[in-house]
Amino acid sequence: MFYVTQNETGTANETNATLSWTWAPLAWEWWEVLQLLLALAGIVGNFLVMVVLFRVRRSRCSTDTLIAGLALADFLTSVFIIPHRQVETLPDTTSAQLYCRIIHSSFFMWVTISASIFTLTTISIERLVAVVRPFQFKRIFSPERTLVIVAGIWLVSFLLNFVIIFVVYFEDGSCVFGYTSVWHGKLTGIIVFLFEFLFPVVTMLVAHVFTVRALRRSSHTNASSETNNFILQARRKITRMLLEVIIVFIISWTPDQVFYFAINVGLVEASNLYSPFYRSFVVLAFVNSCVNPVIYAARNPNFRKALMELCGSVRSLRPIFAGMETRDSQMRMLDGETASGSNADISPNRN
């Protein structure tokens, strides 16, 4: 953080008072063009996911609710990554301070990115509970508790990123970035990397390892009845689809997070934040905000069918991500399991 003497401050204030808002034009560099295309794809794709899940709200399971929350976070992230003009000079006013701390800092974008990460982590845990604790699952992830969990995710995301407001501020006619000390910057960088990337990634992977192991044990220990086969098949397919979502997330965000962590702890010069090399990492990270709807459409027949139903007047009455297509006779066989067990994954995927 920078410091000035009292006389310098007075001179700076007089100069800043004469400044006006000036904006730099968009240069439309390659990374800005790609960022715009990704933003548009993310807005359209995630909006369709939210509409599809909203239409089945009466029969929506906890997985549907969490994926709707993930789509909302990715939708808002896509909105916030749309390229826009950057301010060059600002007057010394309250609105300039607010602009630097909230808009220029991309505070809301980082909140939505964090919400996306924590929601995906929660989905991994939810899938694990559905498999290893099926009878407690309905109580743990009831509709009301799932909504509370989603609200908690957004609250935590807001609080974790609130520090941004204090390290981006107005000074001498422009927005500047600075910590109170070197150790403060390094500590913040370590905390953000651990809690917003490394810990969630480890949690996702560990949860999926235990989920897959539990599914394999179930296939050997449970009686080979048609009902059990339907349940296991549906759970395997939804677990596989969500694992693909997690793998894409890891591939998309790891380069950006590792590089930014290296800058925060002083291993890489901060000037590299504006290099084409790092810009490519940022573009790759933003791919994650638009790719999930593509995975859903490719892997989930229920989602594809629900998309087609958007063009008609028929409203889907089945959960989208809890299970797949079933025959009426199969659903009757599973009614007892649904009433006494969990509300998750009770019908098979017919690819």
For 4, 94, 96, the CA distances from 8, given in Å and listed in that order, are 6, 20, 20
Tell me what pLDDT residue 334 has: 40
| Rounded distance between C-alpha atoms, residue 351 and residue 15, angstroms | 68
Q: What is the C-alpha separation between 189 and 171, in angstroms, rounded?
A: 23
What integer pLDDT is reported at residue 106 of this predicted model? 93
Structure tokens that stand for 205 in this block: 């992977």
Q: Given this model, what pLDDT does residue 125 score? A: 95
Q: What is the mean pLDDT of residues 321-349?
A: 41
Amino acid at 184: H
User: Is the separation of the CB atoms in 232 and 222 below 8 Å?
Assistant: yes
Please enumerate in sequence order all residues whose Cβ is within 8 A of that of 115, keeping only pairs 6 or more positions apart, or say none. 69, 73, 153, 154, 157
Q: Spell out the alpha helix ranges (H) of 62-142.
A: 62-80, 94-98, 107-132, 134-140
Class level of CATH domain 6-13+29-340: mainly alpha
Q: Is 115 exposed, middle or buried (0-12, 13-18, 19+ CB in 10 A)?
A: buried
Is residue 149 helix, strand or coil? helix
Torsion of CA 49, 54, 55, 58, to 10 degrees: 130
pLDDT at 293: 95
Please report which confidence band the pLDDT of residue 308 belongs to, taking 50, 70 and 90 as the band edges.
confident
CA angle centred on 229, ends 224 and 232, rounded to 5°: 125
Q: What's at 235, amino acid-wise?
A: R
3-class SS shares of the chain: helix, strand, coil, % to 5: 70, 5, 25
Comparing 247 with 56, the larger pLDDT belongs to 247
| pLDDT at residue 229 in the model | 64
Whether 343 shows a pLDDT value over 80: the answer reads no
Q: Are 320 and 306 a contacting pair, CB within 8 Å?
A: yes
Whether residue 114 contacts residue 97, with contact meaning beta carbons closer than 8 Å, is answered with: no
Domain boundaries in the chain? 6-13+29-340
pLDDT at 340: 38
Overall average pLDDT of the 286-308 stretch:
91
Q: How far is residue 136's CA from residue 197's CA, in Å, rounded to a whole number?
A: 29
Give the H or E element holding residue 176: strand 174-177
Residue 169, φ and ψ in degrees, nearest 5? -150, 170
Confidence label for 348 from pLDDT (cuts 50, 70 and 90) = very low
| End-to-end Cα spacing for the chain | 58
pLDDT, average across residues 146-165 = 95
Q: What is the pLDDT of residue 318?
A: 61
Confidence label for 237 from pLDDT (cuts 50, 70 and 90): confident
Helix (H) or strand (E) holding 169: strand 168-171
Asked if pLDDT for residue 16 goes beyond 90, the answer is no
Residue ranges in 179-300 assigned as alpha helix (H):
182-193, 199-221, 226-264, 276-299
